[in-house]
Amino acid sequence: MTEAESTAAVVTKTVTITGSGTGDGTVKSSPAGINCTVTAGRAAATGCKATFNRGVTVTLTATPKTGHSFKGWFQTCTGTGPCITTMTVSRTVNARFLKGPFKITISGGVGTGSGRVKSQSGLIPAINCLITNGTPATTGCSAKYPANTALVFTATPAAGHTFTWGPPCSGTGTCQYTAIQTRVINAVFAPGGSGSAATRGEWGATFQTPVVGIHVHLLPTSKVLFWGDRGDAQLWDPANPGAGFTAVGKTYRIFCSGHTFLPDGRLLIAGGTISGTQGDARAAIFDPLTDAWSATGSMAQGRYYPTTTVLPNGEILAISGSDETSTAVTIPEIGNGSSWRRLTGAPLLIPNPYYPAMFVAPNGKVFLAGFQATTRYLSTAGDGGWTTVGARVVADRRLGSAVMYAPGKILYAGGGDPPTNSAEVIDLNQAAPAWRSVPGMRVARRQMNATILADGQVLVTNGTSGPGFNDVTQAVHEAELWNPATESWTTMAREVVGRTYHSASMLLPDGRVLSSGSGEGGGVSYANSQLNAQVFSPPYLFNTDGTPAVRPLIASAPSTISYGSSFTVETPDAATVTRGSLIRLSSVTHAFNQSQLIYPLTFSAGGPTSVQAAAPTNGNLAPPGPYLLFLLNAKGVPSVAKVVTVGP
């Protein structure tokens, strides 16, 4: 190749800076090329676009003008630190500057208790805010500060009350916040009681997430993978939360995709978003052993908002959603991890809002629980076919949540517009299954999440009780716990953050529940979305006096459990372990967990340090793939789980 030919072969990509907000500042690049002035949120006509050779890593740094703040990046990158991007494609990066001063207000958040919040000594004007029964005083609770003022707040609860910070802070220590925007700081005081956690559970402190946690998955490595629309997918280790987050990229725009686990523990993603409600036909696989993405065979049609369900033979059913033209997809498809086939004998229109609730039934068929009022079985043999099971008691459960709380038994709660607090169940083990009403939740809600706990109870979190698609002003903070044995609900502790559309909750290996996301859609801008998460500890983790319960220990467990076999678990607590559970790893989004199900286990002593149980008999009861194995003692306290593979 000649020098001229080599020069001609150089490929360049463009970085374009756009501005937003009300403030002034500059954005500069390394290597040089971008020297962009933003005035009142508008980027200048020159200096805000430059070309770089493909593959070059470009670092962008934002500097606000005095009296102004840099709120953050809002395309390509997130946060307020340097924006670092590799030029594989052209990039548009939005830099948001805001003009100060900024009003800072102390709020009681969702608290109902009393206490006082003070700013640091010497700050003028000072904040000295008295909160009584969750209501801040009319004076002393707000003040204006110049941009980038460093604020330190200290909270003191009244006698007999407890305290925790809500966003933008967390925990019980000082709240340190830099004034970069007008902001409400939540100080959550609550009446205390030494044993309240044993009856209502307990929420941990909120913590920040790099992206909005809309799609959330528990991997076989026990790490959590999550993504929203903007930014990279992220990995987080709940066993080592101080390590922070690791970005793992994306293969394409997998926002509003379907997803579930293949039998070998890899995560299959089907569909996604091209633009708006236009569905993408592509599919991808995330390998948790290498933290790497790979492409796989595309579906026949794009799917935006599809549901994916692992079948008894390990194949994956993809159903519903909208295609490349935003038209509802009527033909289901089945994938094996590399290619797809269409069920041309089973067309069915499942209209918006898509993400229908689907479950593998004990007869091997797939049960459509909703959103439509008429529920059906889908046979995936041959070209497929539908048969009618019956109508639900409540016809409209759109954006409620359904869960298979025992083999073949489904709970459907909430949903509708306006939302309902009602609930109903169906038992697919019966010859003629029929829905029947059970007592409802205390609070009506939609955009909620239902999570199976280690002991088989169901925790409902998040949602809104207001009418319309996503009324964030009526966010429901209390969790509720459903007991299948009594078919009754108990109100749990209040989550600090209100989470509605685009929230997600799932079970962690230690028996706690992760709650994340909300926003980035549904009328909520990215800037106002919840880039944070919180973890709930259910009552089974506490003694009656509120101290942590002693948990049974799994010393060792088999890595694989075969259908129809018996298996042994080594534990020093064999004398007290009476039962357990296998709970499939979660893959959750949009009010439905597309992967979770539970198979209850009965253990008997196999020796002084071991217990034995019978495995599921076939894939109809527990489709092949990764599961959490819990032991429970006679008090119902669960162990920390081991991840095992269940299958042929």
Continuous segment of H or E residues that includes residue 20? strand 12-21
Mean pLDDT, the chain, whole residue set: 95
Residue 576, classified by CB atoms within 10 Å of its CB into exposed (0-12), middle (13-18) or buried (19+), is middle
The closest alpha carbon to 175, from 184, 165, 183, belongs to 165
Q: Are residues 506 and 570 in the same domain?
A: no
The answer to whether residue 547 scores a pLDDT higher than 50 is yes
Looking at residue 193, what is its pLDDT?
60
Looking at residue 7, what is its pLDDT?
47
Q: How many domains does the chain have?
A: 5
413, 369 in Cβ contact below 8 A?
A: no
The pLDDT tens digits for 441-457 are 999 999 999 999 999 99
The closest alpha carbon to 456, from 587, 602, 331, belongs to 602
24, 99 in Cβ contact below 8 A?
A: yes
| Cα(104)–Cα(101) distance, integer angstroms | 10
The closest alpha carbon to 310, from 563, 595, 582, belongs to 595
Q: Are residues 220 and 304 in the same domain?
A: yes
592: pLDDT confidence band, cut at 50, 70 and 90? very high
Q: What percent of the chain clears pLDDT 90, i.e. is strictly above it?
A: 89
Q: Could you tell me the CA-to-CA distances from 43 to 38, 46, 85, 87, 551 in Å, in that order? A: 4, 8, 20, 21, 58
Question: What mean pLDDT is predicted for residues 585-610?
Answer: 96
Structure tokens at 64: 């606000």
Residue 206 lies in a domain: no
Residue 364 lies in a domain: no
Task: Give the total residue count for the chain.
Answer: 648
Looking at residue 110, what is its pLDDT?
81
CATH number for position 579: 2.60.40.10
| Cα(627)–Cα(265) distance, integer angstroms | 9
The closest alpha carbon to 29, from 95, 97, 99, 96, belongs to 95
Residue 125, classified by CB atoms within 10 Å of its CB into exposed (0-12), middle (13-18) or buried (19+), is exposed
164: pLDDT confidence band, cut at 50, 70 and 90? confident
Q: Are residues 279 and 400 in the same domain?
A: no
Continuous segment of H or E residues that includes residue 627? strand 625-633
| Cα(247)–Cα(76) distance, integer angstroms | 13
Asked if the peptide bond before residue 245 counts as cis, ω within 30 degrees of 0, the response is: no
Buried b (16+ CB within 10 A) or exposed e, 160-185: ebbbbbbbbbbeeeebebbbbbeeeb
Q: Where are the strands (E) in 128-282, listed by range?
A: 128-132, 135-136, 142-145, 150-157, 161-165, 175-178, 183-191, 202-203, 207-208, 215-218, 224-227, 233-236, 245-249, 258-261, 267-270, 273-275, 278-279
Q: Where are the strands (E) in 65-169, listed by range?
A: 68-73, 83-86, 91-99, 102-107, 115-119, 128-132, 135-136, 142-145, 150-157, 161-165
93, 17 in Cβ contact below 8 A?
A: yes
Residue 177 lies in a domain: yes
15: pLDDT confidence band, cut at 50, 70 and 90? very high
CATH number for position 245: 2.120.10.80
Q: Are residues 430 and 499 in the same domain?
A: yes
Q: Are residues 481 and 437 in the same domain?
A: yes
3-state DSSP call for residue 49? Answer: strand
CATH number for position 7: 2.60.40
Question: What mean pLDDT is predicted for residues 35-63?
Answer: 96
Residue 355 lies in a domain: no
Looking at residue 78, what is its pLDDT?
81
345, 382 in Cβ contact below 8 A?
A: yes
Looking at residue 216, what is its pLDDT?
98
Continuous segment of H or E residues that includes residue 7? helix 3-8
Question: What mean pLDDT is predicted for residues 424-451?
Answer: 97
The answer to whether residue 30 scores a pLDDT higher than 80 is yes
4: pLDDT confidence band, cut at 50, 70 and 90? very low
The closest alpha carbon to 59, from 41, 73, 70, belongs to 73
Looking at 142, 161, 192, the residue that finishes a domain is: 192
Looking at residue 8, what is its pLDDT?
52
Residues sharing a CB contact under 8 Å with residue 51, sequence separation 6 or more, in sequence order = 12, 13, 14, 15, 33
6: pLDDT confidence band, cut at 50, 70 and 90? very low
The pLDDT tens digits for 210-249 are 999 999 999 999 999 999 999 999 999 999 988 899 999 9
- Tell whether the torsion through CA atoms of 361, 364, 365 and 366 is positive or negative: positive
- Least confident window among 161-165, 195-199, 380-384: 195-199
Looking at residue 112, what is its pLDDT?
85
Residue 375 lies in a domain: no
Which residues on neighbouring strands pair with residue 203, listed in sequence order? 536
The pLDDT tens digits for 250-309 are 999 999 999 999 999 999 999 999 999 999 999 999 999 999 999 999 999 999 999 999
205, 534 in Cβ contact below 8 A?
A: yes
The answer to whether residue 117 scores a pLDDT higher than 70 is yes
| Cα(387)–Cα(160) distance, integer angstroms | 59
Residue 622 lies in a domain: yes
310: pLDDT confidence band, cut at 50, 70 and 90? very high
Q: Are residues 405 and 508 in the same domain?
A: yes
Residue 477 lies in a domain: yes
Q: Are residues 608 and 515 in the same domain?
A: no
| Cα(315)–Cα(338) distance, integer angstroms | 10
Residue 24 CA, chain-centre distance (Å), reads 35
70, 180 in Cβ contact below 8 A?
A: yes
Looking at 158, 192, 226, the residue that finishes a domain is: 192
Structure tokens at 188: 């959550």
Q: Are residues 59 and 141 in the same domain?
A: no
Q: End-to-end CA distance of the chain, in Å?
A: 56
Structure tokens at 108: 């009681």
Q: Are residues 113 and 184 in the same domain?
A: yes
Continuous segment of H or E residues that includes residue 482? strand 478-483
The answer to whether residue 60 scores a pLDDT higher than 90 is yes
The closest alpha carbon to 420, from 450, 403, 439, 440, belongs to 440
Which range of residues forms the domain containing residue 125?
102-192
Question: What mean pLDDT is predicted for residues 62-71?
Answer: 97
Continuous segment of H or E residues that includes residue 625? strand 625-633
Amino acid at 239: A
Structure tokens at 99: 């003009």
CATH number for position 404: 2.130.10.80
| Cα(138)–Cα(117) distance, integer angstroms | 14
Q: Are residues 187 and 235 in the same domain?
A: no
Structure tokens at 486: 């009594």
Taking every pair of Cα atoms in the chain, the longest distance, rounded to a whole number of angstroms, is 82
The closest alpha carbon to 588, from 516, 644, 511, 640, belongs to 516
Structure tokens at 337: 């991890």
Looking at residue 644, what is its pLDDT?
98
Regarding predicted confidence, which is higher, 521 or 527? 521
| Cα(579)–Cα(577) distance, integer angstroms | 6
Q: Are residues 243 and 262 in the same domain?
A: yes
The model's pTM is 0.84
Regarding predicted confidence, which is higher, 172 or 421? 421
24: pLDDT confidence band, cut at 50, 70 and 90? very high
Looking at residue 61, what is its pLDDT?
97
Looking at 99, 134, 154, the residue that finishes a domain is: 99
Residue 376 lies in a domain: no
Q: What percent of the chain clears pLDDT 70, i.e. is strictly above it?
A: 98
Q: Are residues 341 and 221 in the same domain?
A: yes
The answer to whether residue 1 scores a pLDDT higher than 50 is no
171: pLDDT confidence band, cut at 50, 70 and 90? confident
Looking at residue 194, what is its pLDDT?
54
